[in-house]
Amino acid sequence: MEIKTVGILGTTGVVGGAALQTILASTGHRLLLGGRNPGKLREQLAGSEGRGDWLQVDVFDAAQLADFCSRCDIVINCAGPAKQVMDKVAVACLEKGVPYVDVSGDEHLYRLLLKRKAEIEAKGLTFIISAGVYPGLSEVFPAYIAEKELDRIEQLELFFAGQGGFSLNAAYDIVCSIEEDTGWGMSYCKEGAVQKIDGPFHRSYTLPQPAGKRDTYPVITEEFCQMAKQHSIPVAYFYNSYQHSGILNQFVMIKALQQYKTEEQKRLSAEMLLKQFETKQPGVEDFTMFHLNATGLRAGASVRLSSTLLYRGDWNRLSGMIAAKVAHLLTEGHGSKPGCHFVAEGVSATALIEALREQTMELTQEVSEQKGGGGL
């Protein structure tokens, strides 16, 4: 295997730290860490000095960013807030001819990068965004089922549940997404298009442990719809769930009172969200779960499939692991054609899920034959 230099920006956070540890543990690549605090960067390489180096860099300083990217064979961006960083790192990578993986990103970053699609493709580069948990794994998991388990999916529903915390930067990004009205609430994906749910949308559902009974709410993102269209899934639902009702109430209040008009309001709203996520279910360790139900065809038979993907840890660490695994797959030539892609189309979903299962992620599955058809 050719040794590459993997650059990671934002390694002093939980997400970036997990990306660093994943690259160290599962590859032989060298590392270049980038951040504003030399002391912390030096600490993170303690005991692994032979595997890499660090460089002081502020992602808002174009010259420093260009210098950092020029030293790398691929860059993983974990720096935040993502809504402030936007395409700054991606543009530096493009100018230096370096492949790019962003643990964050959404439809807004995607559209920015599509404006430079021709240049990205002409340089033979692969840019992958939304390489985290949600969005990210929320699309990769159903894509994996479509690739590996069912010949055709007729209807699919996916539930997300977890327990963990957020950094202030991540909470800030959530507030910005509320302001931008990212995604479509109370909707599902039908034939590749967003459709409003006709009738009651709130749903109480009992998920496998450790999630248990949860209040779930349908919400669709552009990434999820694109995945459903790519795999010809005619009907697809995604349900988010929360640790307790206070979190949803906080989201509703931020939206209703428009508590995002100024930078000060965004920061205060982010701090309020952090307090809500600090309240955790007693006796339950942090976890990240996707539970999927699907009906479709398998070897000519009509079947119902239920599958659960469980990581027994914080979703922030899992996001870093995902981004690192995506970067590793790209260095091994397992990416899709050059261009800008959401993660579910940028790398093989099967290869990524199998790589994550090597990182203590649990996958369980049950398939039963359906007689007389029927829905979920």
Verify that 77 and 223 share a domain, yes or no.
no
Our count of domains for the chain comes to 2
Q: Which domain holds residue 41?
A: 5-132+316-348
Q: Is residue 153 one of the residues assigned to a domain? A: yes
Q: Is residue 81 one of the residues assigned to a domain? A: yes
Average pLDDT over residues 91-102: 98
Residues in the chain: 376
Average pLDDT over residues 19-23: 97
Q: What is the pLDDT of residue 1?
A: 65
State which of 42-51, 92-101, 262-271 shows the largest mean pLDDT: 92-101
Q: Is residue 21 one of the residues assigned to a domain? A: yes
Q: Is residue 374 one of the residues assigned to a domain? A: no
Place of tokens 């749910």: 197
**Contact at 8 Å (CB) between 292 and 308?**
yes
Q: Which two tokens stand for residue 287?
A: 């976890």
Verify that 104 and 217 share a domain, yes or no.
no
Average pLDDT over residues 6-15: 95
Q: pLDDT by residue (tens digit) across 123-135?
A: 999 999 999 999 9
Name the band, by pLDDT with cuts 50, 70 and 90, for residue 373: low
Verify that 42 and 162 share a domain, yes or no.
no
Verify that 201 and 74 share a domain, yes or no.
no
Q: Is residue 376 one of the residues assigned to a domain? A: no
More confident residue, 71 or 284: 71
Average pLDDT over residues 180-198: 92
Average pLDDT over residues 25-31: 96
Q: What is the pLDDT of residue 319?
A: 96
Verify that 56 and 79 share a domain, yes or no.
yes
Name the band, by pLDDT with cuts 50, 70 and 90, for residue 282: confident
Q: Is residue 354 one of the residues assigned to a domain? A: no
In percent, how much of the chain has pLDDT > 70? Answer: 99
Query: In what side-by-side order are the strands of the sheet with 74-77?
Result: 52-56, 30-35, 5-9, 74-77, 100-102, 126-129, 339-342
Q: Rounded CA gap, 28 and 114, in Å?
A: 33
**Domain at 340, CATH number:** 3.40.50.720
Q: Is residue 355 one of the residues assigned to a domain? A: no
Verify that 106 and 142 share a domain, yes or no.
no
Average pLDDT over residues 306-312: 98
Average pLDDT over residues 344-358: 96
Verify that 147 and 58 share a domain, yes or no.
no
Q: pLDDT by residue (tens digit) across 234-265?
A: 999 999 998 777 787 888 889 888 999 999 99
Verify that 128 and 67 share a domain, yes or no.
yes
**Domain at 157, CATH number:** 3.30.360.10
Q: Rounded CA gap, 294 and 297, in Å?
A: 10
Verify that 263 and 339 share a domain, yes or no.
no
**Contact at 8 Å (CB) between 266 and 176?**
yes
Q: Is residue 353 one of the residues assigned to a domain? A: no
